[in-house]
C-alpha cells in the first residue's frame, strides 16, 4: 500500500477481520480478541492492546496513581504527548483524575486531553487495521431478526412491561436464504426466547440485523427475557447481550436510543439507515418497514398485511396469518439490509470503527477519526478544536412557485469539494495536510470505481457501487466538517470562504441561464431546477449545456442529471417532481408531514398528482370525494386517527401540567382517563369526536380501540375543516402563472 492508500484504508492490510473485543490479558495487561473469517471458517487470536490518551502536559497526570508510558509528539499543537496504559481500567482511573484536576470533561472542546471512549476504535487506530478487508458483503454472515407482539385488550400497542403483553412470533433469516418463524401458537414465550438464543449460536452470525431492532425488537426481548429469567447469551463467548445508552447521528439530529451490544458480533438497524438515507434524498414518507420497503420496491406480490393494532386480535382467531405476516416482514428486512447496508460495510473497510459504530456515527466524527489515525501513526501532536463562530452558509433561493413544465436539473459536481481542492482551502491546524490528501484521493478513487463499474461483473459492480457511494457520502461531508464544532481540525474561516465562493459560482450560473433564455425555479446549495429555452434540436440542448460549462472557472464541473415533465414548486425546499415514468416524488416536510392524519397524507399525494399532470381542475371533485367519504362514514377510523408515543410517564405529564411547563395533549389525557396503566413508550391511537369543527382536541379525543363502526361518532365538521384547510394552503400557489407561460425573465422574477 502506498502512503495515500494507507491514509484512507489504514496502514495494516490484515484481511478478514469480522469482530474484535477487549479482554483481560495475562498479568496486568489488556488484549484484543480478534475474529477473522477465512476460507475454512471462523478463527480467533489475541493481540496486545495498550489503551492511550493525548494530553497537553504530563505534569497534570503526575499524581494520577497509575503506571503509564509517555511519548512526546512532533509539531507544536497543544496536545503533544501520547500516554499509554497497561489496562483500560488504569486509563479510566486516569480519566477520572483528569476530570477532577482540570475541571473539564473529555467532551469539552477546551479539555487539555483527548480520550476515545471506545476500546475497539483505539485498537483499530493504533494497529492501522479495519474490518472486512478483502471481503465482499456477501461473505459476511448476517442474521435478520423481527418479532411480533401481543397487546392486551384495550391497548392498541404492545408494551413489554405489561404482564399480559408478550412475544407471539420470532422471525429469523440469514444471507444464505434460510428462514424460520417461531410461533407463539406452538411455543410459549419462554420457549421461544430460549430457541432464539439457540438459533443465534447455531447460525453464528457476524452481524445481527433488523428494522427498529434497537428501540423495539431487542429491547422488548430483553424485558421479556428478564421476566422469564432467560439469559440472552447471544455473545460468541457465551456472554449476555448488554443494553446501554447510545446516540445516533443523522444530519443535524442526534437521536438517543437503547444500544444493544453482543460480544463478537455487530448489531445494525436498517431503521437508522433509512433515516440517514432520507437526510440526503428527502423522499421517504415514513421510516416504518412497510413504507420503506414499498418506497424501494421490495414488496412481494402476495405480501400479507395486518394493521399493527389488529395483530393481537388476528392472532386470537388466525395465528397462521400472523406467522405469514412475520415471514414477509423478515424477508423485507433482509432485502432492505441488502440494499442499504453495503454502503456502511464499505465504510467499515476504511474507517477505524466497528461496523456497528460506522452505522450510527455522524460523518464529521468519521472524518475526524481518519485525521487522528494518521496523526497517531506519524506521532504528530493534535490541535484543540477552533472556537465556534457564525458564518453565512450555502445559497438557497426560490424564484417561482406553482407548476412548471419541462424542468431540467443541473448541479455542480461536488461543488464544495471542487472549490476546496482547486483553491487549496483546508484547516489551518492540519500540519500534515491530511484534509486535502484525503479529499483528493477519495474523489479520484470514486471516479475510478465508477469507471470500473462499466466493465465489472454483477457481484463486483455491486461492491464498487457501494464503495463509490460510501466515498460520495464522505466527500460531501468535508465542507460540513470545517464548521463542525466538535471536529478536532475544524476551521470556521475556511468554511466561510468555501460557502462564499460557492454562492458566487451559483449566482453566476443563475445569471447565465437567465441571460440565455432559461427560467430558474429553485436553487438549493449546489443544484438548480430551471425551465430551459425552447430547444429546436438535441444539438441546441448540447450546445447550451456545453456553453454553461465553459462559462465556469476551471475545476468546476456541471452535471445535468434530471429532466422532468413537470414540477410543482410550493416553497423553499418543498416541491414535487413528475418523472418520465409518471411517478411522483415529494420533497420537503410541508408536502409529506408525518404529523398529518392518514387521510390528509393521501389527499395531498392525490392532489399533487393531479397538479403535476395538468389536471388541477379536478381538485374540487377530489376534495368532494374525500368530503363525502368523511360525511358518509365509509372509511375505517384508522384513516382519521392519529398515533402518538408517550415520551413521559402520564404521572410526569401531570406534574408538568401543574407546573405549567407544557400544554395539554390528547394522547396523555386519554392515558390518564383510561382504567389501564400506561407507561412511557406506550403508543396511543385516537380520533376526535363531537359535532363542531372548533373543539379542544384533548377533551374531544377518544381511543381508536373504543370506536364502534355501528355507532360512528367521529367529528365530521372537524375533519371536513381539516380537509378544507389543507386544500386551501395551495390556492395562492396554483393561481400563479407557469414559468413556461411568462413572456420575459423580468416578469417571472417580478
Structural contact between residues 102 and 384, judged by C-beta atoms closer than 8 angstroms: no
Structural contact between residues 403 and 612, judged by C-beta atoms closer than 8 angstroms: yes
- Residue 710, in any domain of the structure: yes
Closest among 213, 206, 260, 262 to 234, alpha carbons compared? 262
* Three-state SS at 134: coil
Q: Which of 129, 159, 174 is the last residue of a domain?
A: 129
CATH of the domain at 317: 3.30.420.10
- Residue 352, in any domain of the structure: no
59 Cβ neighbours under 8 A, 6+ residues apart: none
Q: Please tell me the predicted confidence (pLDDT) of residue 748.
A: 39
Q: Please tell me the predicted confidence (pLDDT) of residue 429.
A: 96
- Residue 326, in any domain of the structure: yes
Residues 63 and 159 occupy one common structural domain: no
Q: Which of 587, 609, 626 is the last residue of a domain?
A: 587
Q: Please tell me the predicted confidence (pLDDT) of residue 1.
A: 65
Question: Residue 179 and residue 331: Cα distance in Å, rounded?
Answer: 8
Question: Residue 699 and residue 410: Cα distance in Å, rounded?
Answer: 51
Question: Residue 576 and residue 478: Cα distance in Å, rounded?
Answer: 29
The confidence band for 244, taking pLDDT boundaries of 50, 70 and 90, is very high
Residues 154 and 11 occupy one common structural domain: no
Least confident of 371-385, 574-588, 671-685: 671-685
- Residue 360, in any domain of the structure: no
**Structural domain boundaries, residue 51:** 3-129
Least confident of 187-196, 440-449, 674-683, 727-736: 674-683
Residues 627/632/634/640 CA torsion (nearest 10 deg): 50
Residues 289 and 231 occupy one common structural domain: yes
The confidence band for 743, taking pLDDT boundaries of 50, 70 and 90, is very low
Q: Report the number of distinct structural domains present in the chain.
A: 4
CATH of the domain at 528: 3.90.1600.10
Q: What is the pLDDT of residues 712-737, one digit of tens each?
A: 999 999 999 999 999 998 887 767 66
The radius of gyration computed from the CA coordinates of the chain, to the nearest angstrom, equals 29
> For the whole model, what pTM was predicted?
0.85
Residues 653 and 522 occupy one common structural domain: no
Residues 91 and 163 occupy one common structural domain: no
pLDDT of 447 over the 90 cut: no
pLDDT of 391 over the 90 cut: no
- Residue 194, in any domain of the structure: yes
Q: Which of 341, 376, 411 is the last residue of a domain?
A: 341
The confidence band for 330, taking pLDDT boundaries of 50, 70 and 90, is very high
Measured CA to CA in angstroms, residue 278 lies from 282, 331, 664 at distances of 5, 22, 32
- Residue 303, in any domain of the structure: yes
Helix locations, 270-318, DSSP H: 270-281, 289-295, 311-317
Q: How much is the average pLDDT of 625-633?
A: 96
Structural contact between residues 184 and 319, judged by C-beta atoms closer than 8 angstroms: yes
pLDDT of 681 over the 70 cut: no
Q: What is the pLDDT of residues 537-563, one digit of tens each?
A: 999 999 999 999 999 998 888 999 889
Structural contact between residues 502 and 393, judged by C-beta atoms closer than 8 angstroms: no
- Mean residue pLDDT of the chain comes to 91
Q: What is the pLDDT of residues 331-390, one digit of tens each?
A: 999 999 999 999 999 999 999 999 999 999 999 999 999 999 999 999 999 999 998 888
Q: Please tell me the predicted confidence (pLDDT) of residue 443.
A: 87
Q: What is the pLDDT of residues 259-307, one digit of tens each?
A: 999 999 999 999 999 988 887 777 777 788 988 998 889 998 889 999 8
Question: Residue 85 and residue 445: Cα distance in Å, rounded?
Answer: 37
Residues 646 and 612 occupy one common structural domain: yes
Q: What is the pLDDT of residues 4-32, one digit of tens each?
A: 889 999 999 999 999 999 999 887 899 99
Residues 605 and 567 occupy one common structural domain: no
Residues 628 and 574 occupy one common structural domain: no
Q: How many CA atoms lie within 13 A of 202 on its CB side?
A: 11
Helix (H) or strand (E) holding 294: helix 289-295
Residues 141 and 120 occupy one common structural domain: no
The confidence band for 745, taking pLDDT boundaries of 50, 70 and 90, is very low
Other Cβ atoms less than 10 A from the Cβ of 350: the count is: 25
Structural contact between residues 129 and 6, judged by C-beta atoms closer than 8 angstroms: no
Amino acid at each position: 500500500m502506498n502512503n495515500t492508500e494507507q491514509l484512507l484504508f489504514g496502514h495494516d492490510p490484515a484481511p478478514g477481520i469480522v469482530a474484535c473485543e477487549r479482554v483481560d490479558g495475562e498479568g496486568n495487561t489488556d488484549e484484543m480478541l480478534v475474529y477473522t473469517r477465512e476460507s475454512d471458517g471462523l478463527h480467533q487470536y489475541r493481540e496486545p492492546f495498550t489503551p492511550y490518551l493525548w494530553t497537553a502536559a504530563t505534569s497534570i497526570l503526575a499524581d494520577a496513581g497509575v503506571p503509564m508510558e509517555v511519548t512526546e509528539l512532533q509539531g507544536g499543537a497543544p496536545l503533544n504527548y501520547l500516554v499509554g496504559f497497561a489496562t483500560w481500567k488504569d486509563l479510566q482511573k486516569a480519566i477520572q483524575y483528569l476530570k477532577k484536576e482540570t475541571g473539564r470533561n473529555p467532551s469539552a472542546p477546551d479539555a487539555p486531553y483527548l480520550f476515545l471512549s471506545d476500546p475497539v476504535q483505539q485498537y483499530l487506530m493504533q494497529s492501522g487495521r479495519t474490518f472486512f478487508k478483502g471481503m465482499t458483503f456477501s461473505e459476511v454472515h448476517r442474521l435478520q431478526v423481527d418479532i411480533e407482539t401481543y397487546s392486551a385488550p384495550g391497548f392498541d400497542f404492545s408494551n413489554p412491561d405489561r404482564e399480559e403483553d408478550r412475544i407471539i412470533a420470532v422471525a429469523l433469516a440469514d444471507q444464505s436464504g434460510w428462514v424460520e418463524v417461531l410461533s407463539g401458537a406452538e411455543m410459549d414465550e419462554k420457549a421461544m426466547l430460549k430457541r432464539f438464543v439457540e438459533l443465534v449460536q447455531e447460525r453464528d452470525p457476524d452481524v445481527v440485523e433488523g428494522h427498529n431492532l434497537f428501540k423495539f425488537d431487542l429491547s422488548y426481548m430483553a424485558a421479556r427475557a428478564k421476566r422469564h429469567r432467560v439469559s440472552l447469551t447471544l455473545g460468541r463467548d457465551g456472554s449476555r447481550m448488554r443494553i446501554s445508552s447510545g446516540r445516533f447521528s443523522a444530519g443535524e439530529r442526534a437521536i438517543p436510543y437503547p444500544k444493544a451490544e453482543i460480544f463478537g458480533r455487530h448489531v445494525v438497524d436498517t431503521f437508522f439507515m433509512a433515516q440517514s438515507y432520507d437526510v440526503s434524498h428527502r423522499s421517504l414518507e415514513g421510516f416504518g418497514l412497510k413504507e420503506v420497503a414499498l418506497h424501494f420496491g421490495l414488496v412481494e406480490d402476495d405480501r400479507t398485511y395486518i394493521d399493527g393494532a389488529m395483530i393481537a386480535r388476528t392472532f386470537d382467531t388466525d395465528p397462521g396469518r400472523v406467522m405469514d405476516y412475520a415471514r414477509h416482514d423478515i424477508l423485507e428486512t433482509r432485502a432492505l439490509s441488502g440494499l442499504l447496508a453495503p454502503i456502511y460495510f464499505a465504510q467499515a473497510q476504511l474507517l477505524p470503527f466497528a461496523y456497528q459504530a460506522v452505522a450510527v456515527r455522524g460523518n464529521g466524527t468519521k472524518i475526524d477519526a481518519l485525521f487522528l489515525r494518521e496523526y497517531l501513526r506519524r506521532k504528530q501532536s493534535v490541535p484543540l478544536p477552533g472556537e465556534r463562530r457564525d458564518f453565512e452558509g450555502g445559497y438557497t433561493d426560490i424564484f417561482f412557485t406553482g407548476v412548471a413544465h419541462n424542468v431540467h436539473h443541473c448541479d455542480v459536481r461536488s461543488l464544495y469539494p471542487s472549490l476546496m481542492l482547486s483553491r487549496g482551502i483546508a484547516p489551518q491546524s492540519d500540519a500534515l495536510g491530511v484534509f486535502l490528501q484525503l479529499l483528493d484521493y477519495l474523489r479520484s478513487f470514486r471516479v475510478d470505481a465508477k469507471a470500473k463499474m462499466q466493465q465489472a461483473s454483477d457481484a463486483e459492480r455491486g461492491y464498487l457501487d457501494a464503495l463509490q457511494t460510501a466515498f460520495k457520502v464522505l466527500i460531501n461531508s468535508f465542507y460540513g466538517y470545517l464548521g463542525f464544532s466538535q471536529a478536532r481540525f475544524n476551521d470556521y474561516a475556511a468554511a466561510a470562504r468555501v460557502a462564499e465562493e460557492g454562492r458566487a459560482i451559483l449566482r453566476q450560473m443563475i445569471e447565465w441561464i437567465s441571460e440565455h433564455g432559461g427560467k430558474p425555479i429553485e436553487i438549493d446549495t449546489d443544484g438548480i431546477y430551471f425551465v430551459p429555452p425552447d430547444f429546436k434540436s438535441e444539438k441546441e440542448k448540447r450546445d447550451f449545456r456545453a456553453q454553461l460549462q465553459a462559462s465556469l472557472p476551471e475545476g468546476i464541473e456541471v452535471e445535468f442529471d434530471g429532466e422532468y415533465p413537470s414540477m410543482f414548486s410550493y416553497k423553499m425546499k418543498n416541491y414535487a417532481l413528475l418523472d418520465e415514468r409518471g411517478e411522483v416524488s415529494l420533497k420537503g416536510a410541508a408536502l409529506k408531514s408525518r404529523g398529518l392524519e392518514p387521510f390528509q397524507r393521501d389527499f395531498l399525494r392525490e392532489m399533487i398528482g393531479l397538479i403535476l399532470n395538468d389536471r388541477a381542475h379536478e381538485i374540487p371533485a377530489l376534495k368532494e370525494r374525500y368530503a363525502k367519504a368523511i360525511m358518509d362514514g365509509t372509511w375505517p377510523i384508522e384513516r382519521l386517527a392519529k398515533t402518538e408515543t408517550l415520551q413521559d410517564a402520564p404521572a410526569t405529564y401531570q406534574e408538568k401540567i401543574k407546573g405549567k411547563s407544557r400544554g395539554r395533549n390528547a394522547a396523555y389525557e386519554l392515558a390518564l382517563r383510561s382504567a389501564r396503566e400506561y407507561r412511557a413508550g406506550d403508543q396511543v391511537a385516537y380520533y376526535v369526536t363531537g359535532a363542531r369543527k372548533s373543539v379542544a382536541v384533548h377533551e374531544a379525543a377518544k381511543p381508536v380501540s373504543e370506536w364502534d363502526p355501528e355507532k360512528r361518532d367521529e367529528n365530521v365538521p372537524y375533519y371536513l375543516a381539516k380537509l378544507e384547510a389543507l386544500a386551501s394552503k395551495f390556492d395562492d400557489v396554483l393561481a400563479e402563472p407557469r414559468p413556461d407561460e411568462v413572456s420575459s425573465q423580468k416578469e417571472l422574477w417580478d
